[in-house]
Structure 1
Amino acid sequence: MKTANQKFQTVMEKNTFYFSNPIFEQNYEGYLTSIKETLLVIKNTVENEGLKKEIFEDLLLEKEYGLRALLALTGLSNETLKRLITISRIVDDPELDKLILKSAWHEKDNTKNLKEWSDSKISSMILTNTSFRKGIVNIFFEGSSIPFLARTIPLFELKKLSISKLRFELGEMIDTLIRYKEKGSYSATGENNPETLIANILETLCVPFQKGELGELVENAPDNKRTMDFIIPNKESPLVIIESSFLVTTSSGQGDKSKTEISINSLLKEHYPRAQFIGFVDGIGWYVRPGDLQRMVNAYEDVFTFHEEELMRFEQLINSIFNGQPQC
């Protein structure tokens, strides 16, 4: 049996630093080269023939990696495109419906059991439905001009739907590189967290709040304790406890999260019977997982979204709890 120091030295001395499977690397380089060469051909075609939607419609129809090439050119992620398609299926906006030729490919969805289309479903639709294919290209050409999308999509993502990117303009290519590089920092920036809206309301109402673990749960249910997003007015005598979950993407963990919230609700009722446990649950990620959403909302006494009307309703709730009297 090796000692702890010997095992430590094994990892330090025999570290490979980065794992690399040569066969996979070679195959993936072939995939990347294919996308690059496809874009170079499209660039040459645009320069010779001018910018035409038909060029990109043919790209999606004829090239195996046509959609991937279009996404790489604009910097739009595959996940974001899937969200856009889902939103387009959900909403009834005349201008957007016309842009994507919705009536020619869309069958009314059951929003109570809406399922997001898979990559294979989208690829199949692109190949077999001309109107859907044209609608996808229209989004890249004109999506940023649609008022509904301009209101709904964050500006960081909306800027990727720029017709100048489709012209391969140098400034736009640099813009795409920057957005690729800064995507992680953009997503992690605190000011862009919807929870700041909750904090702003509480600060405006002069209602104090804390974040962190609740003492009774730490002592009596250490395995189930967790960091609470908002504890109003304080950890010692909470009147409102808030958990926030805004999801743009979907994951299998959503089911586990809903189960966790239900167990937390039971513990709070036992140890903090005076406190209301409410949730902010929002985002397309929850919309397309109705089963998990149903379980999630059952964990809370009330649920809010970040819609303007819901934020006003939340403000009214806090005012009613404190009788409209500032607490700080």
Structure 2
Amino acid sequence: MNQKYQIVIERNSFYFSNSHFEENYEANTINLLKTLLINLKNDIANKGCKEEIFVDFLQENEFGLETLLILNGLANENLKRIITIARIVNDTSLNALLNVKEWDTKNNESDIKEWGDKKIKNLIKNNTSFAKGLVKLFFKGSSNPFLAKTLPLFELNKLNLQKINFDSLAMLDTLIRYRQKGSYAGAMQNNPESLIKEILSSVNIPFESGDLPKFIENENLNKRTMDFIIPNKQNPQIIIESSFLSTTSSGQSDKAKTELAVAKLIKKYYPKAKFYGFIDGIGWYVRKQDLQRMCEAYDEVFTFRTDELERFKQSIKKDY
């Protein structure tokens, strides 16, 4: 045992590194993107910051999209979210910004699936209206009325002309946002559950979080932590679970099955308790079957939209 322990301690590599991969990645990805950025910067300096320059750049370069995303600091996943939302909402201002009506793609509105990288790149290459729409998003997305009320400010402020024009202050802003992204995402105040806590505190309703005693005693579910138990674990009158998903995953099916099972146990052991669910985010929107199963589990369902939070506030006052 001691010899094995010493092997790990004395021969620890600290960081895994495949030198062949590292060299190829530097040459074929990092240096390529750097070259594309320099070429784009020179084109802007010679011809001006015009939308058509960026459209040509997108359509002519395999990594054109990645290059522009580097400039504005927007994650590829967040771009996909915006594209999916545009296909869903049919908002006039967003349609005009992104040229949605000219994308020439068939939408099955009852079952919209998120597009993958290959689909998006094919559209950029073969549909100039789609490419122009992305460029307009990068140029003036922050001033779009729909995006202004939908995107978090942290993401909205990435979509402006200064970013795409190599403005030095805007690039500093991009560096800062990139550095702070983890802290921003992990901040407790930015957690959807914090809004529920604020509402409960504002109407002086006590709550606890944790395991329900009868589950532990009778079902051995000693790790099934409930988000909010009102007023306490011993006498639950309202039980609240929250699920906000900005991405999709296969785990959503398991989550839905679990919530249905929990709902049955609540009815069995706490028949007088109401089971509330907060279900929100585009991740649920595009997984309709899982969403339907999730909704079946709850007595009442809410989202985190402002009017829904007010409805929750009134419901909780009435039911408690």
Structure 2 length as normaliser, TM-score? Answer: 0.96
Once residues 222 and 283 of structure 2 are traced to their aligned partners in structure 1, the CA distance between those partners, rounded to angstroms, is 25
Shift, 1:279, TM fit = 0.7
SS in structure 2 of the partner of residue 211 of structure 1: strand
Q: Which residue of 1 aligns with 2:5?
A: 8
Give the aligned residue type for 2:6: Q
> Which stretch shows the higher mean deviation, 301-310 or 233-242?
301-310
Once residues 273 and 13 of structure 1 are traced to their aligned partners in structure 2, the CA distance between those partners, rounded to angstroms, is 59
Once residues 14 and 222 of structure 1 are traced to their aligned partners in structure 2, the CA distance between those partners, rounded to angstroms, is 43
Q: Which residue of 1 aligns with 2:174?
A: 176
1:18 aligns with 2:15: yes
SS in structure 1 of the partner of residue 205 of structure 2: coil
Once residues 217 and 25 of structure 2 are traced to their aligned partners in structure 1, the CA distance between those partners, rounded to angstroms, is 51
Once residues 7 and 303 of structure 1 are traced to their aligned partners in structure 2, the CA distance between those partners, rounded to angstroms, is 53
Q: Which residue of 2 aligns with 1:325?
A: none
Once residues 171 and 317 of structure 2 are traced to their aligned partners in structure 1, the CA distance between those partners, rounded to angstroms, is 49
Task: Tell me the alpha carbon deviations over residues 168-198 of structure 1, each in whole angstroms, 9 at most, x when there is no partner.
Answer: 1111111111111111110111111121221
Q: Which residue of 2 aligns with 1:326?
A: none
Shift, 1:99, TM fit = 1.4
Report how many aligned residue pairs link the two structures: 319
Q: Which residue of 2 aligns with 1:70?
A: 68
Task: Tell me the alpha carbon deviations over residues 263-307 of structure 1, each in whole angstroms, 9 at most, x when there is no partner.
Answer: 221222222222111110001111111122122212212211112
* Cα gap change, 1:276 to 1:7, in 2 (>3 Å): farther
SS in structure 2 of the partner of residue 112 of structure 1: coil
Shift, 1:204, TM fit = 1.3
Once residues 222 and 281 of structure 2 are traced to their aligned partners in structure 1, the CA distance between those partners, rounded to angstroms, is 26
Percent of counterpart pairs with the same letter?
55
Residue pair 1:224, 1:264 contacting (<8 A) in 2 also: no
* Equivalent residue in structure 2 for 1:61, among 59, 62, 66: 59
1:148 aligns with 2:146: yes
Gaps of 5+ in 1: 323-328
Shift, 1:312, TM fit = 2.1
Once residues 289 and 134 of structure 2 are traced to their aligned partners in structure 1, the CA distance between those partners, rounded to angstroms, is 29
Once residues 46 and 122 of structure 1 are traced to their aligned partners in structure 2, the CA distance between those partners, rounded to angstroms, is 25
Gaps of 5+ in 2: none
> Please, what is the CA RMSD of the aligned residues?
1.4
Once residues 227 and 124 of structure 2 are traced to their aligned partners in structure 1, the CA distance between those partners, rounded to angstroms, is 42
* Equivalent residue in structure 2 for 1:262, among 260, 263, 271: 260
Shift, 1:201, TM fit = 1.4
Shift, 1:21, TM fit = 1.1
Once residues 316 and 191 of structure 2 are traced to their aligned partners in structure 1, the CA distance between those partners, rounded to angstroms, is 21
Residue pair 2:95, 2:101 contacting (<8 A) in 1 also: yes
Give the aligned residue type for 1:8: Y
Once residues 104 and 154 of structure 2 are traced to their aligned partners in structure 1, the CA distance between those partners, rounded to angstroms, is 28
Give the aligned residue type for 1:225: K
Give the aligned residue type for 1:14: R
> Which stretch shows the higher mean deviation, 121-130 or 89-98?
89-98
* Cα gap change, 1:314 to 1:108, in 2 (>3 Å): farther
Residue pair 2:112, 2:286 contacting (<8 A) in 1 also: yes
Once residues 230 and 224 of structure 1 are traced to their aligned partners in structure 2, the CA distance between those partners, rounded to angstroms, is 16
Residue pair 2:103, 2:127 contacting (<8 A) in 1 also: yes
Task: Tell me the alpha carbon deviations over residues 127-176 of structure 1, each in whole angstroms, 9 at most, x when there is no partner.
Answer: 11111111111100111111110000000000100210111111111111
Give the aligned residue type for 1:214: L
* Equivalent residue in structure 2 for 1:307, among 282, 305, 308: 305
Shift, 1:212, TM fit = 1.5
Shift, 1:76, TM fit = 0.1
Residue pair 1:201, 1:315 contacting (<8 A) in 2 also: yes
SS in structure 2 of the partner of residue 306 of structure 1: coil
SS in structure 2 of the partner of residue 113 of structure 1: coil
Residue pair 1:74, 1:166 contacting (<8 A) in 2 also: yes
Shift, 1:93, TM fit = 1.6
SS in structure 1 of the partner of residue 233 of structure 2: coil
> What pairs up with 1:1-328 in 2 under 5 angstroms?
3=1, 5-30=2-27, 31-107=29-105, 109-223=107-221, 225-322=223-320
Once residues 144 and 81 of structure 2 are traced to their aligned partners in structure 1, the CA distance between those partners, rounded to angstroms, is 16
Residue pair 1:214, 1:225 contacting (<8 A) in 2 also: no
Once residues 74 and 121 of structure 1 are traced to their aligned partners in structure 2, the CA distance between those partners, rounded to angstroms, is 22
